């Protein structure tokens, strides 16, 4: 961190800042310019960020230079990480298709969606048992029974499962079934949930908050990593903008920035990003072309009867087409399908 002193700051002001930093266990290097003095802070920056240096007399500006996230940053870990999810893997050396129903509604519906996912070339099955719905009157998911159905789908198809955990008190029993936990957009900054997930050793897919900056998203990942779980997959799922034509706005460049900033795999969910089925395939192809590590797509045997997110769900036939297109594009780009 660097503290820039005002031109009129006195020697006393400068010394007061330097002492405050030393009292916090850091070192302060004072560099006197012709017009302004700057003070470089060296040491564990987490100790300085909470100091009210900005309020001290003579201080003009306090600037952070290093990244606030450490464990998920590329700095400490330049090579990209591949995360194993059951028998599958998500990382930069292959491209994965994750597919399945938005919500598990019944055994029959989930099984049909799971076999469609498998037939389309998916290596991981998605499906929500606990659904964080905007309206309390909407279908809230089958809960425990939904988890059992997902386990049956895994037994039938051999696909590992990613499913959402919505509350810190659910982490243990969801983790007992899931191969990968999902933290949804609405919970990206539920820090107690993140800490709990961080104490498991389950791979965790962390979706980007719908109004979160990339830095906030990576800080959320840092919460999980800092508690001991570094098995994190980041998922860009669209952000809120002023544009109402799509449910959200897919931030593809944000996906790339996140890949540059961290060693973690970054994937894209074109279903929740667009909310419109006809946009899912083109955005999935765009995500692959831009270098995403996987895409996650909603599938439903009868989208018109879906209890959750029907307008964005692909039918089994439609997802088979997308799966084939992605495989062809991956080949053309020299990427292996996971």
Q: Does 277 bind ligand PEP (CB under 6 A)?
A: no
Residues that bind Mn ion (CB under 5 A): 102, 309
- State the binding string over 79-108 for ligand PEP (x if CB under 6 A, else -): -----------------------x------
- State the binding string over 123-152 for ligand PEP (x if CB under 6 A, else -): -----x---x--------------------
Q: Does 178 bind ligand PEP (CB under 6 A)?
A: no
* Beta pairing, strands 2-5 & 37-42: antiparallel
Return d(Cα 188, Cα 265) in angstroms, integer: 17
Return d(Cα 338, Cα 88) in angstroms, integer: 7
Q: Rounded to the nearest whole angstrom, what is the least distance from the CB of residue 291 to ligand PEP in the complex?
A: 20
Return d(Cα 68, Cα 46) in angstroms, integer: 8
Q: Which option in Mn ion, ligand PEP, none does residue 318 bind, with CB closer than 5 to 8 A by kind?
A: none
**Closest to ligand PEP by CB, 164 or 251:** 164
Beta strands in the chain (DSSP E): 2-5, 27-32, 37-42, 59-63, 83-85, 88-90, 94-100, 124-126, 161-164, 180-183, 204-207, 232-236, 266-268, 294-298, 336-337
User: Based on the number of CB atoms within 10 Å of its own CB, is 320 exposed (0-12), middle (13-18) or buried (19 or more)?
Assistant: middle
Residues 148-177 that bind ligand PEP (CB under 6 A): 164
Q: For 74-83, which contacts have Cβ atoms below 8 Å and span 24 or more sequence positions?
A: 74/260, 74/261, 74/262, 74/263, 77/263, 78/263, 79/263, 80/259, 80/263, 80/264, 80/265, 81/230, 81/263, 81/264, 81/265, 82/265, 83/203, 83/231, 83/232, 83/233, 83/264, 83/265
Q: Which option in ligand PEP, Mn ion, none does residue 207 bind, with CB closer than 5 to 8 A by kind?
A: ligand PEP
Interface pick for ligand PEP out of 67, 154, 170, 237 (rule CB under 6 A):
237
Return d(Cα 37, Cα 102) in angstroms, integer: 57
Interface pick for ligand PEP out of 272, 277, 300, 335 (rule CB under 6 A):
272
Q: Rounded to the nearest whole angstrom, what is the least distance from the CB of residue 309 to Mn ion in the complex?
A: 4
Q: Which option in Mn ion, ligand PEP, none does residue 184 bind, with CB closer than 5 to 8 A by kind?
A: ligand PEP
What angle do the packed helices 316-332 and 277-290 form, to 10 degrees? Answer: 20
Interface pick for ligand PEP out of 67, 207, 277, 300 (rule CB under 6 A):
207
Q: Both tokens of residue 207?
A: 């979706």
Q: Rounded to the nearest whole angstrom, what is the least distance from the CB of residue 277 to ligand PEP in the complex?
A: 15
Place of tokens 């990942």: 221
**Closest to Mn ion by CB, 9 or 296:** 296
Q: Rounded to the nearest whole angstrom, what is the least distance from the CB of residue 6 to Mn ion in the complex?
A: 51
Q: Which option in Mn ion, ligand PEP, none does residue 237 bind, with CB closer than 5 to 8 A by kind?
A: ligand PEP
Q: Which residues contact 128 (CB under 8 A, 6 or more apart)?
A: 101, 102, 103, 104, 141, 146, 163, 164, 182, 308
Q: Which option in Mn ion, ligand PEP, none does residue 127 bind, with CB closer than 5 to 8 A by kind?
A: none
Q: Which option in Mn ion, ligand PEP, none does residue 314 bind, with CB closer than 5 to 8 A by kind?
A: none
Q: Which option in Mn ion, ligand PEP, none does residue 121 bind, with CB closer than 5 to 8 A by kind?
A: none
**Closest to Mn ion by CB, 127 or 254:** 127
**Closest to ligand PEP by CB, 184 or 265:** 184
Interacting residue ranges for ligand PEP, rule: CB under 6 A = 102, 128, 132, 164, 184-185, 207, 237, 272
């Amino acid at each position: 961190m660097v503290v820039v002193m005002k031109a009129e700051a006195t020697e006393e002001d400068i010394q007061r800042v330097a002492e405050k930093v030393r009292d916090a266990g850091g070192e302060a290097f004072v560099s006197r310019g012709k017009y302004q003095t700057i003070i470089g802070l060296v040491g564990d920056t987490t100790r300085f960020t909470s100091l009210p240096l900005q309020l001290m007399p003579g201080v003009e500006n306090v600037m952070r230079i290093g990244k606030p996230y450490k464990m998920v940053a590329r700095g400490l870990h330049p090579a990209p990480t591949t995360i194993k999810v059951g028998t599958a893997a998500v990382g930069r050396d292959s491209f994965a298709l994750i597919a399945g129903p938005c919500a598990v509604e019944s055994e029959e519906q989930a099984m049909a969606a799971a076999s469609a996912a498998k037939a389309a070339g998916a290596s991981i099955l998605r499906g929500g048992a606990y659904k964080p719905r905007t309206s309390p009157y909407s279908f809230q998911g089958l809960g425990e029974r939904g988890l059992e159905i997902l386990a049956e789908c895994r037994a039938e198809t051999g696909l590992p499962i990613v499913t959402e955990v919505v509350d810190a008190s659910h982490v243990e029993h969801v983790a007992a079934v899931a191969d990968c936990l999902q933290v949804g957009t609405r919970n990206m900054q539920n820090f107690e949930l993140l800490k709990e997930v961080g104490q498991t050793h389950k791979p965790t897919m962390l979706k980007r908050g719908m109004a979160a900056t990339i830095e906030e998203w990576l800080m959320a990942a840092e919460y999980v990593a800092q508690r001991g779980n570094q098995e994190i997959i980041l998922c860009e799922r669209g952000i809120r903008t002023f544009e109402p034509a799509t449910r959200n706005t897919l931030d593809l460049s944000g996906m790339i920035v996140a890949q540059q900033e961290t060693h973690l795999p970054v994937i894209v969910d074109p279903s929740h990003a667009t909310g419109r089925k006809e946009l899912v395939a083109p955005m999935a192809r765009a995500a692959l072309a831009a270098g995403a590590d996987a895409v996650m797509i909603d599938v439903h045997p009868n989208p018109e009867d879906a209890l959750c997110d029907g307008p964005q769900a692909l039918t089994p036939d439609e997802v088979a087409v997308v799966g084939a297109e992605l495989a062809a594009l991956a080949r053309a780009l020299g990427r292996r399908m996971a």
